[in-house]
Every structure is written in C-alpha cells, then in structure tokens.
Structure 1
Amino acid sequence: MSTKEDFLEQIKASLELHSLVKLTLSKPTDKDSTLHNIFVRPVEIKSERHYSFTYRYKTNDETKNHKVEAAYQEIMMQIEEHFKNATLCTPDEDIALLTSKKGKITVQKSKANRSTATVAHDKIKTKRAQPDANYLTLLGVTDHAGNIIPKMADKYRQINKFLEIMESLIATAQLPKNPKIVDMGSGKGYLTFALYEYMRQKGYEVSVTGIELRKELVDFCNETAKQLSFEGLQFVDQPIEEYENKDIDILIALHACDTATDDALAKGLASDAALIVTAPCCHKQVRQQLKGKAVSSPILKYGIFKERQYEMVTDTIRALILEREGYESKIFEFVSNEHTRKNVMLVGINHHRTKNEQGANDKISAIKSEFGLDYQQLERLIDG
C-alpha cells in the first residue's frame, strides 16, 4: 500500500468512527487554480452526522454538506487530482500528507495540540458557531486559520449564546419547513449570519431578511452573503416602521433603540409570527413621558433607580401585550451584564392560545395608574 493510499484509509476510518476533528487540503496542483483550500469538519443535520466542506476560492467561499461515503469520495478525488498537501486532525494526533517539489510524498504524525480528546469533541457539540465558519472570518471575528481575534472574543461568546437561546426557543415554536425570518436592526449582521447558517445546518430551507438603516452596513452584508453563496439571506436599508411584509415566522429585534423595539413587536404581532425575540434598548418613551411629574415612591427619588424602574415598567407592559394577544411571554438575561447592561431579552412564543384581553388590560391599566403613564408606545401601535 502506498503512503497516499494509507493516508486515505486513515481519513476513511476517521469519517466512519466520527473521530475527524478537521481536515485541511492545501497546495493546489495547478498553480493558477482559484481554489486555494478545502476545509472539512463534522456537523449534525437533523440528528445525523454530516461533513461540511468549505471551498476557499480566491474571491469567495462555498459550503457543501455530505454524508460519510460521499464525503470520502470527494476527499479522495480532491487529494488524487487537485491538492498536494493535506492535514487530518483527530482527537489524538495530527497527520500531514506532504508532497515535495520533486513529487516525493511523505506522511508526518504529531501529537494533537489539543488539551484532551474530550475537549475536541465537546467543542463540536457545544459551540453552535464553529470558529472555522467562513462567515466569522469575513465578518472579522476569526482569522483565516479559524482563530478567534482577541478583541472579538466577547462577540463570539455572544453569537454562541444567541444560538443556544434560539435553539431552545425554536424547539418550542411551531415553524414551517421553510421559515421566513426577519431581523430588524441587523447592524453588521453577526447574529443574522450565524442564525442563517445554524438553521441551514438544522435542515431548514430558511429565508432571512436583515433590516438596517445604515446603507453602508447593508451593502457590506449583501456582498458578504454573496461571497458565501448564502442565497436565502438578504439585507434591506429601510426604517423598521416602513417594513410592510407580514409573512414572518420569526421576528428578531436586538437592541433596536427605544420605540423601534415597539415597531418591531407590532410587526411581529401583525404577522402572527410563531416567535418574536427582542432585546429592548434605551426605553426613552416612558421616561420622557414622566419627566417633570411628581412621584410618591421614594425608590423613584434617585435617578439610577428611576431609570431601571422605567425599563422594567416598559418591558412588563410589552410582555403583557404579548400575553393579551395570545402569546406566551418570557423575560430573561441574554448575556452577562459585565459585557452590557442592556442584557434583557423579551420573547413571545405563539401557541395560538385564546387572547386574554381583559386580564392583561387590567394589569396594564394598574401599572399605568401607579406610575402616572398615559400610554406605552406598543399599546398605541396595536390599539390605534
């Protein structure tokens, strides 16, 4: 058996035994080839092991998923015909196939530079956003070797926390096979790209639209989606309140400022969305409405407590409106407040329950009366 054949057999065994952590193909046989590398890693789609292939071209990346046999056939063809070098990473060792300028083939083995085999496998299971995902590189979260850029470590943790939360929420929601997702206030698209990739890996034929006011960010995100061949992902530059499409299954609005959160919630309710996920920000509307009014509660004497109290009042009314419309509402911490104090997530899950108008309205009226409120913006948007 030749050295190359032995190497291919080890790849085949690692695929079948689920011990492949990563495979990298490099050094194209054709110096003019626009395909520079192929990266292979395991992914789980519909509870079944697949292997994700990232084809890194000069100007863009493409991703395809294969089951074990198809993955092996693709790897074998690429090594035989298109690439001189390959590195197989398993929990225990790294095995490199190297081809010299004279065509001599050698195989080098080294102990895996990973703390333990368990860590390698746990990483695959728990990190919803793998560091070597192409969108993370193009968005500036990782370098081309799949290493987290130090200043982006918090963003990477936030992305994985968001996907962990969405995984739990999606499991409780009634979604079609082809869910339509709208991210209102998508910014640079970190979480938008992450959710699109995650949903595809879970077998959904998903369509995602990011809504963002800043045209330069929209142009950047659309160009990035094009490079990644993310055909179901698009970004539009317009205000949230002007978005008219009511065909929404999942609505997301993270840190949409002040009443932009109310605009997004209203759009989700009008669409009868299966899932509404928001992280409210600013809360100016209630605070400004009460500016100058005398308050009897000693708690509201101090500015910092007043600020927090009005945030709670605003989001409680929003949650009650969701319940009034037949949704199950949840409020919980999104990320640790060491990263941002705007860390509350307000979620509505549509179980198509009977609306609880009287009960919710009574509670809303009591809150407004206690704090001297005339209205909360979501009320005005929903009730007219």
Structure 2
Amino acid sequence: MSKPIHKSEELANVYVRQIELRGENHFQFLYRYKTNDQTKNYSFEESVEELTHLLSEKFRAVTLFTLENDLLVFISKKKKVSYKTTQPSFKNKLPETHDKPKEKRAKNSDYLYHLGVTDKEGKVIPKMADKYRQINKYLEIIEAQIQAVTLPEHINIVDMGSGKGYLTFALYDYLVNQKGYTASVTGIELRQNLVDYCNTIAKKCGFKGLLFVAQPIQEYDSNKIDILIALHACDTATDDAIYKGLVSKAALIICAPCCHKQIRQQVKGKEQESPLLKYGIFKERQFEMVTDTIRALILEKNNYTTKVFEFISNEHTRKNVMLIGAKSSKKIDKKRIETKISDLKNSYQIEEHYLETLL
C-alpha cells in the first residue's frame, strides 16, 4: 500500500505477505512509519478487515504481486477504483516462514556433549543457551572472515588463551569436519588442568588436528600462523597475541580484548582535560576504546585492514568488542597512521602502548 491519503500521515507504506504461523496460514503486515517499522500478524478474516480499513481510510494505491502479473489498484478522492496490470515483479513465491531461521553452525557434535553444552540427546542445556548462541555467532563471524582472505592449502590456526576450549573445539569441528578444510588448530592455555581436560576430549572426539599446549603466549614459537585468535586474553596478553600474529604475518588476526589495565595504570593521577574522564566508569570505558583504537591503528600500520564491532550482545557480557585484522596488499601511508597514534597518545597523556614496545 502506498500514497497516503493525508500528507501528514506518519504511516508511509504497508507491506503484506502470506506466512505460516503455528501450522496455519496468516498474513504478516509490515507497517512502515517515517521513524520506525512495526509488524503484526492477522488471520485471513482479520486481514480482509484490516485491508478494508487501510484502503478506505489510509491509502490511495495498492499493488498486488502475483507470479502471473502485478495488479495495480488506484482509489480516487471520490473513492472511484481503477485497475492496471503490469509484468510480474517476482519470479518466485516469497518464503512463508515467519522468521528467517538462523543457521546453526555448531551441530550436535560429541564435543558439545563432553563440554557440557548439550545432553546425551543433543539438546542444549538451558543454562548453556547463551554459550551455544555465542559459539554459533563466533562461527558465523569466522566463516565470513576466512572467505575474505587468501589462505594456504593447509591452514595453521592458533587460539591463544583458549580456556575451556568451547570456541576452539567449535572452530575445528566446523572448518575440518563440516566445511572440509585441511587445518591444524592449536590452543594455548596457561592452566595445565584445562589443557589436559581439552586434550582428553579432543582424543575422545577423534579431532586429530586439534592440540592444546600449556605455556604462556609470550613463549609460544611458531614459524607460521595463518590465523591468530585471542578471545578475552587478559590485559596485555591480547597485545602479546597480536604481536605473534604480526611477526608470523598471519592472514587473519581475530581478538576480543579484555581487562584493559595497561593504559589506565599509566595515566593514573594525571589530570585529563576531557569532562568525559571525570567519572570513573566513563574513564574506564574511554580508555578501553583508546587502547583498542591504538591496537587497530598498529594493525593498519602493518598492512592489515581492520574492523571493530560487537561480538555478542551486551546482555551476555560487557567485554563484547571484536577486533579483526585481515592482511592486505594495499599501499598504506605509514606516517599518517603514526601521526594518528601519536595524536591520540598526546591527547590522553599516554607515554606508550604495550604493543608498540613489543614491536
């Protein structure tokens, strides 16, 4: 429906499509207002009533899309109705699903059961629902990033700060068992008990190319890392991980930084001009952003295209920023980036960023 009768009308258009809801046919009405959209579902009888109301009180024109042709209906000020047919806009019928189903990339695999995400029947345990959502979101992000870079036939992936291994196992299973990539995945974790636990599960699941190693990130030595992952590596451990990826010239560097202390400790006691930094909670968040912005700029300086975005919703964790660097062959203006870093540090009276000292 289009051409509102009243020019001041906030409702600009209404789009209607047939859907299946709880096994019955309904019609979904999308009300497109100037400032927002609203959706309502009606039965057939309710839809006839709503359409009658909209076409007599709200709109002067409506288009009915069919696979044979489009039927255009015009209603004059005197309520005179005229019709016109044109070539069909659609070749295929629209899907009748109420919502587009989200693809579950973490299938009912053994590792989900052994890690306590699902029960023996493969059903997600209620208290692990958030973790399961996080795993699927993570795999969705990884899939998109891998498709955007050039990788060797055999991919070496290192997950630094792998913890209990939820995402490490999910990544290996998805890439190797579902997508058919040839890949080796190594999880680096300080706690020996977690490393033993994860290696036992990897063996039970038959994940031959998945290995967990107990050692500090700084001590890990690899000649070649194609994909470097560091999710929630605490404070400067994120920088240690990024540094390893830069030295190895990794095609992808993916991190979700956590516990930004280094810069905050460095500027403690220094008077800041910005009124944003008057309050402790704002100061903490501001310096988190400054820390990660400098990390992104350092990646750009080293020929990486960077992205910073929300990893998972704030309702699950406030540490939800993901920083991704993809190796690029484009020419860059290093001096311009260095100036940006320098200006940012001067603005907040920062002496040095830990990642800079590593490099």
On whether the aligned pair clears a TM of 0.5, the verdict is: yes
Q: Which has the higher helix share?
A: 1
- After TM superposition, the structure 1 = structure 2 runs for residues 143-162 of structure 1, keeping only pairs within 5 Å, are 143-162=119-138
Aligned counterpart, 1:267: 244
Aligned counterpart, 2:234: 257
* TM-score (norm: length of structure 2): 0.71
Residue 267 (structure 2) aligned to one of 266, 278, 290 = 290
What secondary structure does 2:322 align onto? strand
Aligned counterpart, 1:361: 338
Provide the rounded CA distance (Å) in 2 between the counterparts of 1:263 and 1:325: 16
CA drift at 1:278: 0.1
Report if the CA contact (8 A) 1:326-1:351 is conserved.
Answer: yes
Residue 194 (structure 1) aligned to one of 170, 174, 191 = 170
Aligned counterpart, 1:376: 353
Superposed CA offset, 1:41-72 (max 9, x none): xxxxxxxxxxxxxxxxxxxxxxxxxxxxxxxx
CA drift at 1:177: 1.9
Report if the CA contact (8 A) 1:299-1:306 is conserved.
Answer: yes
Report if the CA contact (8 A) 1:246-1:267 is conserved.
Answer: no
CA drift at 1:298: 1.1
AA paired with 1:255? H
CA drift at 1:178: 1.0
Provide the rounded CA distance (Å) in 1 between the counterparts of 2:290 and 2:209: 38
AA paired with 1:224? I
Between the two proteins, the alignment pairs up a number of residues equal to 262
- After TM superposition, the structure 1 = structure 2 runs for residues 1-384 of structure 1, keeping only pairs within 5 Å, are 122=101, 126-130=103-107, 132-200=108-176, 201-382=178-359
What secondary structure does 2:342 align onto? helix
Sort the Cα spacing of 1:210 and 1:336 in 2 relative to 1 into closer, same or farther, 3 A: same
Larger radius of gyration: 2
Report if the CA contact (8 A) 1:246-1:270 is conserved.
Answer: no
Provide the rounded CA distance (Å) in 2 between the counterparts of 1:211 and 1:303: 34
What secondary structure does 2:170 align onto? helix
CA drift at 1:168: 0.8
AA paired with 2:167? L
Provide the rounded CA distance (Å) in 2 between the counterparts of 1:177 and 1:157: 30
Superposed CA offset, 1:245-276 (max 9, x none): 13100000000000000000000000000000
Provide the rounded CA distance (Å) in 2 between the counterparts of 1:182 and 1:377: 21
Report if the CA contact (8 A) 1:258-1:284 is conserved.
Answer: yes
> What is the RMSD of the two structures over their aligned residues, measured on CA atoms?
1.5
Superposed CA offset, 1:134-171 (max 9, x none): 11001110001001011100000000000011011111
Provide the rounded CA distance (Å) in 1 between the counterparts of 2:226 and 2:274: 42
CA drift at 1:353: 2.8
Sort the Cα spacing of 1:356 and 1:246 in 2 relative to 1 into closer, same or farther, 3 A: farther
What secondary structure does 1:230 align onto? coil
Segments of 5+ residues of structure 1 without an aligned counterpart are 1-116
Provide the rounded CA distance (Å) in 1 between the counterparts of 2:215 and 2:151: 26
Report if the CA contact (8 A) 1:326-1:356 is conserved.
Answer: no
CA drift at 1:203: 1.6
AA paired with 1:142? T
Provide the rounded CA distance (Å) in 1 between the counterparts of 2:194 and 2:330: 39
CA drift at 1:296: 1.4
Superposed CA offset, 1:205-255 (max 9, x none): 110000000000000000100011100000000000111113100000000
Ranges of 4+ aligned residues in structure 1 off by more than 4 Å = none
AA paired with 1:293? K
AA paired with 2:126? P
What secondary structure does 1:206 align onto? strand
Segments of 5+ residues of structure 2 without an aligned counterpart are 1-95
